Amino acid sequence: MTVTLADVAARARVSPATVSRVLNGNYPVATSTRDRVLRAVDELDYVLNGPASSLAAATSDLVGILVNDIADPFFGIMAGAAQSQIGGPGDGSGRAGGEKLAVVCNTGGSPERELTYLTLLQRQRAAAVVLTGGALEDPSHQAAMAVKLAKLADAGTRIVFCGRPPLPDSDAVTASLAFDNRGGARRLTEHLLELGHRRIGYVAGPLERTTTRHRLEGHREAMKAAGLHGDEESLTVHGPYDRRSGYDATRQLLAREGEVTAVVAANDTVALGACAAVRDHGLRIPEDVSVAGFDDLPFSVDAMPALTTVRLPLAEAGARAGRLAMGKEKPPAGGIATIDAELMARGSTAAPRG
Amino acid sequence: MTVTLADVAARARVSPATVSRVLNGNYPVATSTRDRVLRAVDELDYVLNGPASSLAAATSDLVGILVNDIADPFFGIMAGAAQSQIGGPGDGSGRAGGEKLAVVCNTGGSPERELTYLTLLQRQRAAAVVLTGGALEDPSHQAAMAVKLAKLADAGTRIVFCGRPPLPDSDAVTASLAFDNRGGARRLTEHLLELGHRRIGYVAGPLERTTTRHRLEGHREAMKAAGLHGDEESLTVHGPYDRRSGYDATRQLLAREGEVTAVVAANDTVALGACAAVRDHGLRIPEDVSVAGFDDLPFSVDAMPALTTVRLPLAEAGARAGRLAMGKEKPPAGGIATIDAELMARGSTAAPRG
DNA sequence: CTGTTAGCGCTTTCAA
DNA sequence: TTGAAAGCGCTAACAG
């Protein structure tokens, strides 16, 4: 029924092994033979059987990219960039040669699904796995992840972190690209302090996430360095990385802590919610309250006023992670690279009134 | 080295066949035997070999979801919803039972990559494929797609369209969920006409895309019904579905056609660019120029003023596509369903001056 | 440079 | 309800 490699071999009057060699291109084959084989492939419209090939070769061309939330451009941008390095440009024929199949898996931020996806990829004998975004800090999950990643690495799967801090005491991970969330957050708050703000509300991300913690720490470092501390707790509200969280938390801060002159959000999406809350509270941005975000997603510059935020080079990092996963680029020294975060001061922050 | 099904069988003192039956759960197995097998699986930390399993069974648990641009929430929302129906909730162990591996593939809008991904998925003997977003209208690509999809369907792969018009004369596609882009666009323009606008600029999407054409047709239907036609061409500018396109096209429209009182954009992202252009031109929204988008992505309500747009139920459609791909839901009559688009009139549109 | 020969690890009749 | 055995389609030594 379906045409197999043996059919191609018969048609090209060569052995199956030769066909395999032509297809994989890792072996010298006479040009005339190769042409004959390729012609037979086209004539028979042959499509390689992936499972059979993976079984025999004990490795597949699947590369998994894990993301927390595929609907969030933060992840979409990284995943797209990684995928572009992995899938290759193709040859324009749609025929598929030695390409890898780069696929993105959406964990929805659930630790169980993260592990499940890793198991599924392990099953498929994935060639590489890229994990994006912050990690959960729950010790038992971290331990489970370390074990699982070690097994994947053992089986020859290359593992790359992108926008995620390195795993302590693990050599399973080929490379870790970590964003300087702490430094970026510190500079952002310093910017607010320089403008004259003293009471700054902070809408943090979900608890137990490295990203949340690092950004919050950077913020508090700056506050402390300015001699401002004592009411960190009452000025901080935690919530998920979405617009609603920004809205709710900001309304809460505004109602409870009347004298807040600035709100720093965990990311740009949360910041949009914060902006809406400030306005619904009858206040203006930035005259009455300054608002700042994090990530510099494409829409941030279109907020009115344009959002002050911290730029993360998501596309560059994703692309680099993709190359590392393919073994096309050599890992940074020590397997760890920290990626700078740049302050983008824009219209949504200004000096407080009075 | 790596533990195989035979190892599990030995440890559980049963035959490999029995282990296979327990793992796949499609066959009667004595409870005591099953327990013994499951225990052995856990003790040995066994992970099924996907390729071997797929080879023997001639089908895999891979489900592909093709998107044009993974960094665009339009696709992210659909893909995430689809994936949530396919991946299943897991059992909380991260162990992975009969789950499918739902993966999203980013074509970047390139027809070649679309075909390449389908070939790659075909290689893997994917259980199902979901194609999201508008299709390219190039006849040769359409023909190639029809052929490829027919082959996939022949091989037992279920095919579902989500937000894409049905393929003419093809029974390869299990179900097509198409958005009512034309109707939505018509209602949007009618809304503008009712407000009193007469000269309406249109920033269209890329040429040769069904989405672009349908939305543009809806717009022109409304214009024509109002007796307004003749300068459609000069009032329409085509460009990609991104912010920059909206910005550039709008500046162009504003410079060239001074008297434009409203700009309709191909989607919300383009609309944000249009808003920025209107402002940079020294005009106010909506007092001087009204702006409208399409899709109602989450950020649209946060634009200032909030964006008038057309809501597409992306998450619902994605989830339904996921269920259809899994065979959990029965296809609509005729395999085709049209999904309504709802006008969301908000602050960015108002009556023109004078 | 090319052919022969064993498997890769699992599923699935067919029997028992 | 379980076991035995025959492949699934390909790759990778090993010869030649």
pLDDT for position B1: 66
Residues with CB under 7 A from strand C: A 13-18, 21, 27-30, 32-34, 52, 55-56, 58; B 2, 4-6, 16-17, 19-21, 23-24, 26, 48-49, 52-53, 55-57
Strands B342-344, B309-311: pairing kind:
antiparallel
Contact B80 A71 (CB under 8 A): yes
Q: Which of A46, A84, A101, A105 to mutate to test the interface with B (most CBs of B within 10 A)?
A: A101
The answer, yes or no, to whether residue B96 has pLDDT greater than 60, is: no
How many angstroms separate the CA atoms of B253 and B228, rounded? 18
pLDDT for position A247: 96
Chain A environment of B275 (Cβ under 8 Å) = 302
The residue whose two tokens read 């510059």 is A301
The answer, yes or no, to whether residue B98 has pLDDT greater than 90, is: no
pLDDT tier at A92 (50, 70, 90 boundaries)?
Answer: very low
Residue A276 DSSP SS3: helix
Helices (H) and strands (E) in chain A, counts: 13, 12
Burial class (CB in 10 A: 0-12, 13-18, 19+), B130: buried
What mean pLDDT do residues B172-183 have? Answer: 96
* Phi, psi (degrees; rounded to nearest 5) at A17: -60, -40
How many angstroms separate the CA atoms of B335 and B316, rounded? 17
pLDDT tier at B170 (50, 70, 90 boundaries)?
Answer: confident
Residue A157 DSSP SS3: coil
Closest residue, by C-alpha, to the C1' of C9: B52
What mean pLDDT do residues A296-308 have? Answer: 91
Name the amino acid, one letter, at B228.
Answer: L
pLDDT tier at B92 (50, 70, 90 boundaries)?
Answer: very low
The residue whose two tokens read 């964990």 is A107
CA of A229 to C1' of C7 (A): 68
**A23 Cβ nearer than 7 Å to chain D strand:** yes
pLDDT tier at A303 (50, 70, 90 boundaries)?
Answer: confident
* Global confidence as pTM: 0.93
pLDDT for position B88: 56
Encode pLDDT of A21-69 as tens digits.
Answer: 999 887 888 899 999 999 999 999 999 999 999 999 998 999 999 999 9
Bases of chain C with protein Cβ within 7 A: 1-5, 7-13
Q: What is the dihedral of CA A326, A327, A330, A334, to 10 degrees?
A: 90
What mean pLDDT do residues A186-202 have? Answer: 97
Contact A298 B73 (CB under 8 A): no
Sign of the alpha-carbon dihedral angle for B199, B200, B201, B206: negative
pLDDT for position B90: 53
Closest residue, by C-alpha, to the C1' of C8: A56
**A5 Cβ nearer than 7 Å to chain D strand:** yes
Burial class (CB in 10 A: 0-12, 13-18, 19+), B117: buried
Calculate the alpha carbon distances from A248 to A150, A223, B32, B166, B180 in Å: 41, 24, 53, 42, 34
Calculate the alpha carbon distances from B161 to A119, B81, B107, B134, B311 in Å: 29, 14, 15, 10, 19
Chain B environment of A269 (Cβ under 8 Å) = 298-299
Q: Which two tokens stand for residue A196?
A: 């004259």
Of A116, A117, A302, the CB nearest to B243: A302
**B35 Cβ nearer than 7 Å to chain D strand:** no
Q: Which of A168-177, A330-339, B207-216, B286-295 has the lowest mean pLDDT?
A: A168-177
**A30 Cβ nearer than 7 Å to chain D strand:** no
CA of B222 to C1' of D10 (A): 59
How many interface pairs between A and B have CB atoms less than 8 angstroms apart? Answer: 216
Residue of chain B minimizing CA distance to A47: B123
Q: What percent of chain B has pLDDT over 90?
A: 85
Q: Which two tokens stand for residue B163?
A: 């937000």
Encode pLDDT of B108-152 as tens digits.
Answer: 999 999 999 999 999 999 999 999 999 999 999 999 999 999 999
CA of B16 to C1' of C11 (A): 10
The answer to whether the beta carbons of residues A22 and A33 sit under 8 Å apart is yes
The residue whose two tokens read 């893997």 is B124
CA of A20 to C1' of D11 (A): 8
The answer, yes or no, to whether residue B217 has pLDDT greater than 50, is: yes
Q: Which two tokens stand for residue A27?
A: 């072996």
What mean pLDDT do residues A155-183 have? Answer: 94
Contact A302 B93 (CB under 8 A): no
**A225 Cβ nearer than 7 Å to chain D strand:** no
Of B51, B95, B117, the CB nearest to A54: B51
Contact B47 A124 (CB under 8 A): no
pLDDT for position B230: 74
The answer to whether the beta carbons of residues B228 and B192 sit under 8 Å apart is no
Q: Who contacts B305 (Cβ-Cβ below 8 Å, separation ≥6)? A: B285, B286, B346, B347, B348
Closest residue, by C-alpha, to the C1' of D2: B18
**A33 Cβ nearer than 7 Å to chain D strand:** no
Q: Which of B24, B67, B299 to mutate to test the interface with A (most CBs of A within 10 A)?
A: B299
A295: left (phi over 0), alpha (psi -120 to 50) or beta: left
Bases of chain D with protein Cβ within 7 A: 1-5, 7-13
pLDDT for position A93: 52
pLDDT for position A88: 57
For chain B, the average pLDDT equals: 92
Contact A118 B94 (CB under 8 A): yes
Encode pLDDT of A3-27 as tens digits.
Answer: 999 999 999 999 999 999 999 887 8
The answer to whether the beta carbons of residues B68 and B132 sit under 8 Å apart is yes
Q: What percent of chain A has pLDDT over 90?
A: 84
For chain A, the average pLDDT equals: 92
The answer to whether the beta carbons of residues A152 and A118 sit under 8 Å apart is yes
End-to-end CA distance of chain B: 81
The residue among B330, B326, B329 whose CA lies nearest residue B98 is B326
The answer to whether the beta carbons of residues B215 and B186 sit under 8 Å apart is no
How many angstroms separate the CA atoms of A343 and B231, rounded? 45
Contact B303 A304 (CB under 8 A): yes
pLDDT for position A258: 72
Encode pLDDT of A203-261 as tens digits.
Answer: 999 999 999 999 999 999 999 999 997 788 899 999 999 999 999 999 999 998 778 99
Encode pLDDT of B15-68 as tens digits.
Answer: 999 999 999 887 888 999 999 999 999 999 999 999 999 999 999 999 999 999
Of A51, A79, A102, the CB nearest to B125: A51
What mean pLDDT do residues B324-350 have? Answer: 96
CA of B17 to C1' of C14 (A): 13
| Cis peptide preceding A286, ω within 30 of 0 | yes
The number of C-alpha atoms within 13 Å of A21 and in the hemisphere containing its C-beta is 14
Chain B environment of A268 (Cβ under 8 Å) = none
The answer, yes or no, to whether residue B168 has pLDDT greater than 90, is: no
Query: Can you give the three-state secondary structure of chain B, one letter per residue?
Result: CCCCHHHHHHHHCCCHHHHHHHHHCCCCCCHHHHHHHHHHHHHHCCCCCHHHHHHHHCCCCEEEEEECCCCCHHHHHHHHHHHHHHCCCCCCCCCCCCCCEEEEEECCCCHHHHHHHHHHHHHCCCCEEEEECCCECCHHHHHHHHHHHHHHHHCCCEEEEECCCCCCCCCCCCEEEEECHHHHHHHHHHHHHHHCCCCEEEEECCCCEHHHHHHHHHHHHHHHHCCCCCCHHHHEEECCCCHHHHHHHHHHHHHHCCCCCEEEECCHHHHHHHHHHHHHCCCCCCCCCEEECCECCHHHHHCCCCCEEEECCHHHHHHHHHHHHHCCCCCCHHHEEEECCEEECCCCCCCCCC
pLDDT for position A336: 95
pLDDT for position B169: 79
Of B62, B90, B303, the CB nearest to A116: B90
Of A80, A96, A120, the CB nearest to B106: A80
pLDDT for position A87: 75
